[in-house]
Structure 1
Amino acid sequence: MGIESESVSFFNLSMFFFFILILLPPQYHCSQVYNITPLQPSAQGDTLVSPSSIFELGFFSPNGSASKYVGIWHKNISPRKVVWVANREKPIAVTGSLASLRISSNGSLELVDGKHNSLWSTTDVTSEVSSSNTSSVAALLLDSGNFIVKDDAWEDGAMWQSFDYPGDTLLPNQPIRYNTKAKKGNILTSWKSESDPSTGIYTVEGGRATEVPAQVIIWINRSTPFWRSGPWDKSKFIGLPDMDDRYLSGFTVEENVEQGTQDFSYELFDTLATYGDISSQGNFKFMYAQNGRNWSFHFETLKNPCEIYGACGPFGVYNSSESPICKCLKGFVPSSDQEWRKGNWTMGCVRQTNLFCERQTDKKSFSLQGKQGYSDDGFWKMTGAKVPDYHQYITSLNTDDINGCMIQCLNNCSCLAYALVNNIGCLVWSKDLIDIVGFSQGGVDLYIRLSRKQLGSIPTSRDIIQEYIGKHDPSELLIYDFDTMLTATDNFSITNKLGQGGFGPVYKGILQDGKEIAVKRLSSSSGQGIEEFKNEMLLISNLQHKNLVRMMGCCIKEDEKLLVYEFMPNKSLDTFLFDPTRRGELDWDRRFNIIQGVARGLLYLHHDSYLKVIHRDLKVSNILLDEKMKPKISDFGLARIVEGTQCIENTQKVVGTRGYMSPEYALGGIFSEKSDDYSFRVLELEIISGKKNNNFFLYEQQLGFLAHAWNLWYEGKGLELVDEVLGDSYSSSEVLKCVHIGLLCVQDNAADRPTMKDIALMLSSEKDGTQPKRPEFTMQNSFSHPQPQNEHTNSPINEATITVIEGR
């Protein structure tokens, strides 16, 4: 009787909850669907999920407001961030009738309330009519976060997609297009407030009509600039020196001058979920979720309220690391001392002494041939600058013609400043210079036009060198005359150009005594180039080894900064290794000798030299070959001297080349000799295989180069890595030893990697190392597809040195 009573009670309780569930309003029922069709609308309480459950679409109320909207968000990441809203301007009242998202009779996607009144439709934002055959129409949410309406009868893909109508958020691979001729595009627009997704006052869009190169500007009411990125240099926006390079590497800006369109998008590593959005306060920020669970802050445009556009007024410079944060350019004074002392800098600065042009009654352009303008006007160089707004681009000059850029500006009375920017060329300014920012790292050189009386005396070459190297003695440096360098290189003739590095071109030269030299001409528009120059000066008298390139001296004249090296007739290793027509010249004996020579050079840097030096940019293109094909490590501009016995450091400025950097350095800014060991392993495996790490992808197995190498080693097939041009003419034991060492050097934990002492010993003896562990970081980060590269192009360009700010 007790058991029967309990069964009846359980049945009654179950029926009670069943009827309660039925009586609950529909918004309390929750179900997932994977598409919306004419026969299957999505009602309140339903969610539409993407195929891999990455994104979710449904009804929501922002911050507990009294209105409901249809939006998209990442399904499993907290806190919830709505990345797109359908009915921004027409909310659904919470107390009103139930709403649903459906395919209408004309094939469009439509949001209707309980009385079938239309609140939003795809036909509201596009003039295209869908399909007459609505049975084949469906709405889908893709794993990219793109919400599409498609007709299976169409061959052209989506009839409508949310990516074409963004709100306040930008997702990876979502293009933002701005038409400079029509002055419209699918721009980002902020929410009015955190609880109101209707259109706010801030927009993110391209620069002004016909502005080349493009820049991103945040506008207030689409009329007043609030913040800007600076011009695009084909890899980054030059006004953002402290953006993480891992993010910047995914930036793309495509300009079509004829159509007047600028397309902006970005992509990141597959392992990251990310978004960028413009807040209701006008701050453009990026967030990421490394573990797929929680959002973390990554980057923002406005670190403090003073970074808004033109905070220091015309001819004023903003620098957050100085006090006061606003200063006048050299040759300028505050337009109002009283306001300036109050901290009101927006009125800016005025010139102290008029320019030569301003003192003339006839202000037409004059020629430099008469020397009048040259003797009365000159230029003061500001290093590390975010260039002013309203730039003009001179396309008729070569990208490295600094003198031509100066003359173009000096010959034009209206020109107030110029800059020669890497990957852009000559930019000039004729309007009041506004929104200039001074950076402690990065930025470009900006040349401000001043009366020559204000420029002061010009320091000598040795004065400048002494300034660069501080307390170190420059007396041992051989300082060459600039005219001697011009003669030696035939005025830096293009026929003498050996290559193009990240900091400037390198030329072959012949001195009067017949000695051949290599001259690196540091780019005057590269702030990093100046740092490299200083670094080379510090190292020149301290490093002497047969496997290191020897610097012979330097030359400085005004903006020209030259480094003079011994000439390497066989250029760099990549010119052989990655050239199908020359690869065969590197037989196995030469390759093994090169590996051993590089190891000896690193052993000297890490252990045997007076100063302990971490190279930080070891790669194939930085290994030069002498007339006997002996290797010499070059390019110490990014090297770091580690004082005393210190072996581990942390840096805020991560520098190196993608694919060669150790995980602790690339992700955390922590570097040591083990960072170079990691780079050595990549170089070693490239020498063995004749393949580029960054240009290899095994599509059948979705494997990158290093993951492929590990798998072959693990399966006992290490010899399959050997370059096919070698045939059978190689030492199996030496190859397997090198592969073994290479995989030991790729270990995730730096402590598990051998030192250069260990490596040199293993290469020169029968000593074996420990068995390598499976490198998880390498395996996870080598699945992404490589960027298309031409194997015949110079490796210094393909393997460009990068800088990542804010290492942790």
Structure 2
Amino acid sequence: MITIFFFFFIIITPSTSSDTLTTTRILTTNQTLFSQNQTFILGFFRASNTNYYLGIWYNNIIPQTIVWVANRDNPIDNSKGYLKMGHNTGNFLLLNSSGNPAWSSNQTNAKNPILKLLDTGNLVLQDSSDKTDENSNYLWQSFDYPTDALLPGMKMGWNLDTRTDKYLTSWKVTGEDPSSGDYTMKIDYHGLPEGFIRRNQTIIYRTGPWNGVRFSGVPNMKDDTNDLKYNFTYDDHAVWFSFSLTNPSLLSRIVLNSDGEYQRYMWIQGRWNKFSYAPAHECDYYRECGSYGVCDSNASPVCSCMHGFSPENREAWNLRDGSDGCARNTGLDCPNDRFLHLQNMKLPETTRVFVNKSMRLDECEGLCKRNCSCTAYANIDIRDGGSGCVMWIGQLVDMIVFPTNGQDLYVRLAAADIESSSSNKNHTVVQGVGITLSVLVLVLGLVALCYIRKKRQQRSRGLMNEVVSSSGRNMDDLELPLFDFDTLTMATNNFSQDNKLGEGGFGSVYKGTLIEGQEIAVKRLSEDSGQGIEEFKNEVKLIAKLQHRNLVRLLGCCIEKDEKMLVYEYMENRSLDSILFDKSRRALLDWERRFNIIYGIARGLLYLHQDSRFRIIHRDLKTSNILLDNDMNPKISDFGMARIFEKDQTQAKTLRIVGTYGYMSPEYAMDGNFSIKSDVFSFGVMALEIITGKKNKEFYSDNDELNLLGNVWRHWQEGTALTLIDPSIGNSYTESEVVKCIHIGLLCVQERAEDRPTISSVVLMLSSEAPSMPKPKNPGFSVRQNHPNTRLFSSTQDESWSVNQVSTTIFDPR
């Protein structure tokens, strides 16, 4: 959210509520203009760099929310600036204390000009004799020069007659520095128009083209209320995107923040509610799966090749890097090629396409088939059965498949590949009939055994449905396999001590191998563990259907013979802490692996906080709950303490504080307040531990006052942060990348939750080569354990115990 926080200073003197500035009046830094209904204010504000800016903000909204800045890249350095009418120029000038212009309305033909602030937030220059508020009569308007915000009625796009472009540019630092930032959001009018977010010249995100209802790449884009409407104009004269409100009492704005995130807010019940944003998930990032690759955020891995294509770089693809895309299995043979019908798609990039608004779909197909350079076609408008023709010439890039609300896309394939697809389907049908008959005979022969097993499963499913009933679902919704007790007993060699991986207040974890050879990890809950039962319920409710490359996958469960067990995929390298803090093994983690682990944890956390069906707060993130697969890819585990937030919920409070000392945020540990920023704090601690190879709750510096966070903070202020790098990394690191990660870690562990970045910002900072980042402030819990402020957490127990004495990692984590 673009806001000016408490450290911004503004002086407003009692003044008239006039909405107009005339040639006989000036506006000084301690004066303001109010729109007629006092919805908006024009005045001066001071940013964190102490400079003065002329801007427009909402009246009576706290925190102060700036929507337009006149002199964003040319601030006034003291309070002596003022706004006035220029002599015989017909335009208004913003002058500094030396009388030099810092900004001008650039209008020279007004005879009797006045400057007026409208209730739309539009600052307009018009002739005083003109009493209308029609756009055609404005000599100049701020709506033609957007900064970072789009207001109702404001247009973003191109005037093709004058070749002028209206677009959003982020602040340099959200809430601190309003100068032009690195990110822009523009409408590209070439081909079939669509929106792009760029960081400098690099494309970060693409909306997809407008299809008459929504942008192709934004399936959930809709009128969230009956009071809001999206508008898109596309003709020979202009390409405009805007939105409007039919209820004048509502306030809404679209913002491009300094992290490159496009956000839409509504002011409801005294606060700004974020209704939509982008990029919202992994597949939103431009060309995530390369040419001809299709991205699916609900799949793991997210990238796949459509029928008739295979990975261009198989080795990278196996490592879940799909950026090289896919290649055809069979060369094209025009005009004998045919078309593969794909549904619910985000259309490929459309800046270089053929467009005909009047063609029918069958005419479009015929034209594409005759043109051997055509690789795909689709309708332009999906309303009323579809209309118009868009044809792609060349490679197809940046495609996503959605569960619903996507578009139909027809991709050119060799006829042999289309026939093989149909043949496979027919073969599957014939094969299915034979299998069905065989199975029927087998079922008749085993009906007695099935009856007995069914009775046992019904008892288990009944208890399981009772466990998940609080989530409003049943076992059929969860699609979670039920394992037999005997199966798990055999897999773990009767829960042998030799197979035990770890133990805690919930019970024990065992390695197992199923009959088919699949390795698993089995969490067996203790019969007398009340907390274990709560963990069991939580894990079933939260992660039964969550799939992400950086989350440990829950394979099933068992409720039988008074036993409650959870079955997970097995992680070959076990937990992060078992390697990171082991002197004999930590050298396995060179800098590249450590950075990938930090980045992978952030991506998993982004999925939990933003991209999954629920907003999930983990509450017990720590290195022992990060498991590593055979390729050292990190996976977040142990959701026993996690909580679900509603879509618009930002925080919650509990009297039962759970978590592990050294990783808990101050507001959670002291007051029981937890939020997504609590997880961000834990992530920051882990990032600094991964860089230094030191435990936050064990490490203290020579002066016996600072823990790891405090020591990193001291070295950061002294400019010696690189001396903290774990020596076992050797020379495998890049200094700038390490410094960036330390910087990000310190931002995440700041004492005040509101100062910490969101995990989406963290992911963007990690993925950017030279991100713009604010200066970190004091970290939380940077003093020794016996400091009065942290005496609550003094303990003589084994350091592996968490605060509530139930989550342990005596062996290896589950």
TM-score interval, smaller chain: 0.3 to 0.5
What is the TM-score with the length of structure 1 in the denominator? Answer: 0.47
What is the TM-score with the length of structure 2 in the denominator? Answer: 0.47
